[in-house]
Amino acid sequence: MIRSFLRTIFALIALAALDVAADDWPHWRGPNFNGISNEKNWLSSWPAAGPPVAWKAAVGIGFSSVSVVNDRVFTMGYVDEKDVVWCLDAATGKVLWKHAYDADLGDKFFEGGPTSTPTLAGEVVYTSSRWGDVFCFEAASGKIRWSKNLQKETGLRIPDWGFAGSPVVHENLLLLNLGDAGIAVEKETGKLVWTSANKDAGYSTPLRFARNGETFAILGSAKSFVAVNAKTGKESWRIPWPTQYGVNAADPVLDGDLMFISSGYGKGAGLFKLSGAQSEAVWQNKELRTQMNPSVLLNGFLFGIDGDTTSKASLKCLDFKTGVLKWAESGIGSGALMAADGKLIVLTDRGELIVAEASPERFKPIARTQVLGGKCWTVPVLANGHIYCRNAQGNLVCLDVQAK
Amino acid sequence: MNVTRRHFVKSATAATLAFGAVPLLRAQSTRKFRTALIGSGWWGMNILREAMASGRSKVIALGDVDTRALDATAMHVNDASGDQPKKYRDFRELLDKEKPEIVIVATPDHWHSLISIAALRAGAHVFVEKPTGHTVRESRAMVDVAKATGRLVQVGLHRRIGPHFVSGMKFLKEGGAGQIGMVRAFVHSGGGKERPAPNADPPEGLDWDFYCGPAQLRPFNTKIHPGGWRNFLGFANGTLGDWGVHWLDQVLRWTDEKFPRRIFSTGGRPVQGEPVLNEREQTSDAPDSQIAVYQFESFTVNWEHRKFADNKAEKSAIGCNFYGTKGTFHLGWRDGWTFYPANDNDKILHEPSQIQEPDGHNLTLLWKNFLESIDAGRVPIGDVESAHRATNMSLLGMLSLKLGRSIQWDGDKETIPGDAEANQLLSRAYRGPWEYPKA
Show me where the domains of chain A are located.
21-400
| Alpha-carbon gap, residue A39 to A45, rounded angstroms | 15
Residue B271 neighbours by CB under 8 Å, 6+ apart: B191, B192, B193, B288, B289, B307, B308
- Average pLDDT (B269-280) is 97
Helix or strand holding residue A397 (H, E): strand A395-400
Q: Supply the pLDDT for residue A311.
A: 80
Q: Supply the pLDDT for residue B95.
A: 98
Task: Report whether B18 contacts B11 (CB < 8 A).
Answer: no
| Alpha-carbon gap, residue A273 to A279, rounded angstroms | 5
In this complex, the residue of A81, A286, A311 whose CB is nearest that of residue B193 is A81
CA angle B395, B108, B94 (to 5 degrees): 125
| Alpha-carbon gap, residue B49 to B47, rounded angstroms | 5
| Alpha-carbon gap, residue A344 to A191, rounded angstroms | 40
Quote the minimal CA–CA distance from A314 to chain B in Å.
14
Tell me what percent of the residues of chain A surpass a pLDDT of 90. 87
Task: Report whether A377 contacts A335 (CB < 8 A).
Answer: yes
Quote the minimal CA–CA distance from B96 to chain A in Å.
27
Model confidence over A175-194: pLDDT tens digits?
Answer: 999 999 999 999 999 999 99
Q: Is the pLDDT of residue B393 over 70?
A: yes
| Alpha-carbon gap, residue A324 to A331, rounded angstroms | 21
B337 exposure class (CB count in 10 Å sphere: 0-12, 13-18, 19+):
buried
The total of other beta-carbon atoms located within 10 Å of residue A299's CB is 9
Least-confidence region, from A122-136, A147-161, B3-17, B205-219: B3-17
- Average pLDDT (A284-294) is 97
Q: Is the pLDDT of residue B2 over 80?
A: no
> To the nearest whole number, what is the mean pLDDT of chain A?
93
- Average pLDDT (B16-33) is 55
**Are residues A286 and B79, on separate chains, in Cβ contact within 8 Å?**
yes
pLDDT band at residue B320 under the 50/70/90 scheme: very high
In this complex, the residue of A105, A159, A199 whose CB is nearest that of residue B192 is A105
Say what angle helices B163-173 and B238-254 make with each other, to 10 degrees.
Answer: 50
In this complex, the residue of A105, A200, A312 whose CB is nearest that of residue B203 is A200
Residue spans of alpha helices (H) in A159-297: none
> To the nearest whole number, what is the mean pLDDT of chain B?
93
- Average pLDDT (A365-385) is 97
In this complex, the residue of A80, A108, A310 whose CB is nearest that of residue B228 is A108
**Are residues A243 and B72, on separate chains, in Cβ contact within 8 Å?**
yes
pLDDT band at residue B358 under the 50/70/90 scheme: confident
The candidate with the shortest Cα–Cα distance to B159, out of B231, B260, B243, is B243
Residue B31 neighbours by CB under 8 Å, 6+ apart: B56
Q: Is the pLDDT of residue B6 over 80?
A: no
Reported ipTM: 0.74
The candidate with the shortest Cα–Cα distance to A166, out of A280, A265, A25, is A25
The total of other beta-carbon atoms located within 10 Å of residue B358's CB is 13
Question: Strands B57-63, B86-88: parallel, antiparallel or unpaired by DSSP?
Answer: parallel
pLDDT band at residue B30 under the 50/70/90 scheme: confident
Instruction: Enumerate residues 242 to 261 of chain A having a beta carbon within 8 A of any beta carbon in chain B.
Output: 242-246
Instruction: Enumerate residues 47 to 106 of chain B having a beta carbon within 8 A of any beta carbon in chain A.
Output: 68-69, 71-73, 75-76, 79
Phi and psi angles of residue B164, each rounded to the nearest 5 degrees, phi first: -75, -25
- Chains A–B, number of C-beta pairs less than 8 Å apart: 64
* Distance from the Cα of residue A248 to its chain's centroid: 14
3-state secondary structure of B373: helix
B411 exposure class (CB count in 10 Å sphere: 0-12, 13-18, 19+):
middle
Phi and psi angles of residue A13, each rounded to the nearest 5 degrees, phi first: -60, -45
Q: Supply the pLDDT for residue B28.
A: 54
Q: Supply the pLDDT for residue B20.
A: 39
DSSP string, A19-83: SPPTT-B-STTTTTTSSEE---SB-----TT-SPEEEEEE--BS----EEETTEEEEEEEETTEE
Q: Supply the pLDDT for residue A276.
A: 64
Report the first-to-last Cα separation within chain B, whole angstroms: 42
Helix or strand holding residue A305 (H, E): strand A301-306
- Give contacts of A109 with chain B, Cβ < 8 Å: 227
**Are residues A158 and B222, on separate chains, in Cβ contact within 8 Å?**
yes
Model confidence over A2-20: pLDDT tens digits?
Answer: 555 445 444 444 434 444 5
Instruction: Enumerate residues 344 to 373 of chain A having a beta carbon within 8 A of any beta carbon in chain B.
Output: none
Quote the minimal CA–CA distance from B175 to chain A in Å.
38
- Give contacts of B222 with chain A, Cβ < 8 Å: 158-160
Helix or strand holding residue B266 (H, E): strand B262-268
- Average pLDDT (A20-33) is 89
- Give contacts of B193 with chain A, Cβ < 8 Å: 81
- Give contacts of A80 with chain B, Cβ < 8 Å: 192
Phi and psi angles of residue A62, each rounded to the nearest 5 degrees, phi first: 150, -175
The candidate with the shortest Cα–Cα distance to B107, out of B167, B49, B64, is B64
Residue A158 neighbours by CB under 8 Å, 6+ apart: A130, A131, A132, A151, B197, B198, B200, B222
Best residue in A82, A105, A108 for a mutation probing chain B (most B CBs within 10 Å): A108
Least-confidence region, from A384-388, A392-396, B7-11, B203-207: B7-11
Q: Supply the pLDDT for residue A121.
A: 97
**Are residues A267 and B75, on separate chains, in Cβ contact within 8 Å?**
yes
Structural domains in chain B, CATH included, are 3-159 (3.40.50.720), 161-357+384-424 (3.30.360.10)
Q: Does B360 touch chain A (CB under 8 A)?
A: no
pLDDT band at residue B18 under the 50/70/90 scheme: very low
Task: Report whether B289 contacts B272 (CB < 8 A).
Answer: no
| Alpha-carbon gap, residue A346 to A387, rounded angstroms | 11
In this complex, the residue of A109, A198, A265 whose CB is nearest that of residue B72 is A265
In this complex, the residue of A80, A246, A311 whose CB is nearest that of residue B68 is A246
Would you say the C-alpha torsion A28, A31, A34, A39 has a positive or negative sign? negative
Provide the CATH topology of domain A21-400. Answer: Methylamine Dehydrogenase; Chain H (2.130.10)
| Alpha-carbon gap, residue A306 to A286, rounded angstroms | 9
| Alpha-carbon gap, residue B198 to B32, rounded angstroms | 46
A344 exposure class (CB count in 10 Å sphere: 0-12, 13-18, 19+):
buried
Model confidence over A226-257: pLDDT tens digits?
Answer: 999 999 999 999 999 998 889 999 999 999 99
Model confidence over B82-132: pLDDT tens digits?
Answer: 999 999 999 999 999 999 999 999 999 999 999 999 999 999 999 999 999
Task: Report whether A352 contacts A370 (CB < 8 A).
Answer: yes
Cα dist from B137 to A38, B384, B391, B433, whole Å: 66, 14, 11, 19
Q: Is the pLDDT of residue B13 over 70?
A: no
Report which DSSP code applies to A162.
Answer: -
Best residue in B68, B73, B201 for a mutation probing chain A (most A CBs within 10 Å): B68
Would you say the C-alpha torsion A325, A328, A334, A336 has a positive or negative sign? negative
CA angle B315, B321, B327 (to 5 degrees): 95
In this complex, the residue of B79, B198, B359 whose CB is nearest that of residue A158 is B198
Report the first-to-last Cα separation within chain A, whole angstroms: 43
| Alpha-carbon gap, residue B188 to B200, rounded angstroms | 31
| Alpha-carbon gap, residue A191 to B365, rounded angstroms | 58
| Alpha-carbon gap, residue A303 to A343, rounded angstroms | 11
The candidate with the shortest Cα–Cα distance to A135, out of A100, A90, A162, A108, is A100
- Give contacts of A246 with chain B, Cβ < 8 Å: 68, 203
- Average pLDDT (A329-334) is 93
- Give contacts of A244 with chain B, Cβ < 8 Å: 68-69, 71-73
Quote the minimal CA–CA distance from B111 to chain A in Å.
21
Q: Does A104 touch chain B (CB under 8 A)?
A: yes
**Are residues B228 and A107, on separate chains, in Cβ contact within 8 Å?**
no
